[in-house]
Each structure stands twice: as C-alpha cells, then as structure tokens.
C-alpha cells in the first residue's frame, strides 16, 4: 500500500496463450501489448488499484521456460518488492507448475502474494477464460486481511481455484479446469465470494527478511519406471556424465521391480555420491518406503522417499538445493522436509 493507501499490484507477462490476440490483418495470434493491457481488459480500471504491467521481451512460450527465466522473474520481483502489495505472473500453462514450484523455493520468507495465472483460450477471443483468471488473480494478489496480504505464498489461480503452486500439476490440455492439487486443498475457492481457506495458508510466525535465491544446478534426471524396464537404458541414465541426482517415478506407494541389477545400479550411484529421490507416478497419495518388499531394498540402498511431492516440485527443489548447497549431506537432509509447503 502506498502513502495514499492505494493498493499496488504488479503484472509480469512472461508469455503464453493468455497474452494473445488475433491480429486483424493476418488473422493469426500475436502477443498483446501488455503495457496497455487495460485496452483489452477495461474491467481492470474499475479496481481502483495501482496496476503496473511489464512484459518479458521476447515473450516465451512456456515450453521454453528455464532457470534463467525463473531468475528473470525473481529479479523483477526483487526490484519491485517494496513498492507493490502483490505480484501476478502471466505464464503459459504448460510448465506453469514448474515455474510456480521453482519460485516457491527461490523466494524464502516471502510475505506477499505471487499469483501465477494464464488461460486455455487467448484473452483476445470471445470465450476466453483469461479475463476471469486475470481479474480474480489481481483481486487475490491485492486482498488484505488485518492489513497484511491474505495469501503470502506462490500460488496458481485458475478456473475458480487458488492452489499452492508447488502442489499443482497440469492435468488437462482441454478443459478450463487445467490444474489439480491432488495432495493439498485449495487455498481459496471462488464463487460469488472469494472464500480463503486460512487454516491451509502458510503465515510466517517470526517475520524474517526475504531472501532471493537464484542458483540452480540442472545435473539431474527423471526416470519413469514401466514394466519391462531395460537395464542398459537405466545404466545409461545413471552414468550420465556429471549426474548428481536422480528422481525415480515409481509405482503406487513407491514401488519398483526387485530385479537385482536394478537395485545394484541404484546402490552404485548412491555410493558414488549420487542422490536418488523416490516419487510416485500416482496423481494422489504418497510414497511409503518399506511398506512393500518392492521398496524395502531401495530404502536399504539409500534411496530417499519423496512423500507426496509432485514431480514438478521434486525437479525444481532438487535443482534449487544442488544450486544452493555443495554439501551432499545438507541436501539429503532437506530433500524430504517441506521448504515451502510442498510435502505433507
Ligand atoms: N503453449 C502455451 C504455453 O504453455 C499454452 C498455454 O499458454 O496455455 O506457453
């Protein structure tokens, strides 16, 4: 809130469908001029907030989002952190869950809302879901409870639901309801009213200064198991030059084949200093290592259980921890503990 009591929200357009309009000359989709977003969404003027828009140049389809662009998002937030009450990041839906997860780890001690949104249909087409998503994301970013932001977290707002970003996954390429949060309830549900689920939102008990983390190390791999897994493929993945951490997407509650060779491959990677995290391919539920014989051997070999973390949060968390710490034992001790509410 500025000195006159006006709420300020910053919109950061990174790219994606939401920012597209149809070029009247060519008929094809082109990015909108975000500096003048209220020409497309005149409703924004009715808020009475100070809304400033900035756009990445060039804009990025979210398939091209990478750690450098996460740093660019965080730099924009850092430069403007003291001057805005909340931030809305407009982003393509395809990798939005990765970016929201990454930013949740990069913004330690966050005390302001950072709300990702996007749309399935461009803002410039008649049936767009983009306008409602944008308008409500701004309202949530601006919403205050007892003089402080109602949701000081990195979230995704989409199709009437506010979800903790690092709990989400994109589950539909067709429906407006594109994101799910299988293991954590919505932080708010939107109908006639915006109903916040205050007991599920993280509030800092002791106020600490925000820390902007900007280093990632991408020497990681994700191995999705399937029946009939080929030994030489596993061996090639594990022997990828420079590989520091491997995420295995296992079956059910964290189960894998008990083939001797498979366990041997994992054991040798770990004894050479590698980290292995076990996450489940299931959309809901958690890894429980040791529950079945099919995970007991992995546990003995030193594989770490990832609980109910999503694949998106696991990937970004490990790249973040590898970038932040040199010491393998520090990383191992943090990997299965919640840093930003990503694991139950
Ligand atoms: N391909 C687009 C993207 O993720 C789709 C979208 O915006 O929804 O950037």
Q: Does the C-beta of 61 come closer than 6 Å to ligand 1?
A: yes
For the CA of 60, the closest atom of ligand 1 is: 9
Question: How high is the mean pLDDT of the chain?
Answer: 93
Q: What is the pLDDT of residue 123?
A: 84
Contact 86 CB / ligand 1 (< 6 Å) = no
Residues 132 and 173 in one domain: yes
Residues 208-231: pLDDT tens digits? Answer: 999 999 999 999 999 999 999 999
What CATH number is given to the structural domain containing 269? Answer: 3.40.50.40
Same domain, 133 and 206: yes
Give the tens place of pLDDT for each residue, 19-74.
888 778 888 777 777 777 777 788 888 888 999 999 999 988 899 999 999 999 99
Q: Which of 26-30, 70-74, 103-107, 307-311 has the lowest mean pLDDT?
A: 26-30
The answer, yes or no, to whether any atom of ligand 1 lies below 6 A from the CB of 6, is: no
Q: Are residues 186 and 322 both part of a single domain?
A: no
Q: Is residue 226 domain-resident?
A: yes
Q: How far is the CA of 63 from the centre of ligand 1 (A)?
A: 7
Ligand 1 center to 64 CA (angstroms)? 10
Q: How many Å lie between the centroid of ligand 1 and the Cα of residue 262?
A: 37
The predicted pLDDT at position 129 comes to 93
Cβ burial 90-100 (10 Å sphere, 16+ → b, else e): bbbbbbbbbbb
Provide CB contacts within 8 A for 80, sequence distance 6+.
Answer: 10, 87
Domain's final residue, options 174, 194, 212:
212
Q: What is the pTM of this model?
A: 0.95
Percent of the chain with pLDDT over 90: 79
Mutate to test the pocket of ligand 1, among 13, 17, 58, 69 (most ligand atoms within 8 A of CB): 17
Q: Mean per-residue pLDDT for 306-334?
A: 96
| pLDDT reading at 2 higher than 70 | no
The answer to whether position 329 is within a domain reads: yes
Nearest to 216 by CA among 18, 70, 8: 70
Model confidence band, residue 196 (pLDDT cutoffs 50, 70, 90): very high
pLDDT at 290 over 90: no
Q: 342 in a domain, yes or no?
A: no
- How many whole angstroms from 62 Cα to the centroid of ligand 1? 6
Instruction: Give the tens place of pLDDT for each residue, 173-185.
Output: 989 999 999 999 9
Q: Give the catalytic positions in this structure.
A: 17
Give the pLDDT score at 34: 73
Which atom of ligand 1 is the closest one to the Cα of 62? 9
List the single range of 8-12, 39-43, 73-77, 200-204 with lowest mean pLDDT: 39-43
Which burial class, exposed, middle or buried, applies to 8 when counting CB atoms under 10 A from its CB (0-12, 13-18, 19+)? middle
Specify whether 163 is located in the same domain as 298.
no
Q: What was the pLDDT predicted at 3?
A: 56
CB 117 near ligand 1, within 6 Å? no
- Among 212, 247, 275, the domain boundary falls at 212
Range of the domain at 88: 8-212
169 and 49 in one domain? yes
Residues 6+ apart with CB under 8 A from 52: 8, 9, 10, 11, 84
What is the tally of structural domains in the chain?
2
């Amino acid at each position: 809130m500025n000195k006159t009591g006006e709420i300020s929200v910053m919109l950061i357009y990174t790219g994606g469908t939401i920012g597209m309009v149809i070029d009247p000359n060519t008929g094809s989709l082109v990015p909108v001029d975000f500096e003048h977003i209220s020409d497309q969404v005149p409703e924004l003027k009715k808020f009475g907030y100070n809304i400033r828009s900035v756009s990445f140049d060039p804009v990025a389809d979210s398939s091209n989002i990478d750690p450098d662009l996460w740093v660019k998002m965080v730099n924009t937030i850092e430069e403007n952190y003291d001057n805005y009450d909340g931030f809305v990041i407009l982003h393509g839906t395809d990798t939005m869950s990765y970016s929201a997860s990454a930013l949740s780890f990069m913004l330690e001690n966050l005390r302001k809302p950072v709300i990702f949104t996007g749309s399935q249909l461009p803002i410039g087409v008649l049936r767009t879901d983009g306008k409602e998503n944008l308008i409500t994301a701004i309202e949530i970013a601006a919403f205050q409870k007892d003089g402080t932001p109602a949701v000081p977290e990195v979230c995704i707002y989409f199709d009437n639901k506010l979800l903790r970003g690092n709990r989400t996954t994109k589950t539909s390429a067709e429906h407006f309801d594109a994101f799910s949060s299988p293991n954590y309830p919505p932080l708010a549900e939107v109908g006639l009213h915006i109903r916040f689920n205050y007991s599920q939102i993280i509030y800092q008990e002791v106020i600490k200064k925000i820390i902007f983390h900007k280093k990632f190390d991408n020497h990681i791999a994700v191995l999705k198991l399937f029946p009939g897994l080929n030994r030489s493929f596993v061996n090639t993945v594990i022997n990828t030059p420079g590989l520091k951490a491997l995420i295995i997407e296992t079956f059910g509650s964290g189960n894998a084949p008990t083939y001797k060779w498979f366990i041997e491959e994992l054991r040798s990677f770990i004894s050479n200093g590698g980290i292995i995290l076990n996450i489940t391919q299931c959309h809901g539920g958690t890894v429980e290592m040791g529950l079945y014989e099919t995970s007991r051997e992995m546990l003995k070999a030193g594989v770490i259980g990832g609980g109910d973390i999503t694949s998106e949060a696991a990937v970004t968390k490990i790249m973040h921890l590898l970038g932040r710490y040199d010491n393998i034992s520090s990383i191992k001790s943090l990997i299965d503990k919640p840093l930003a509410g990503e694991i139950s």
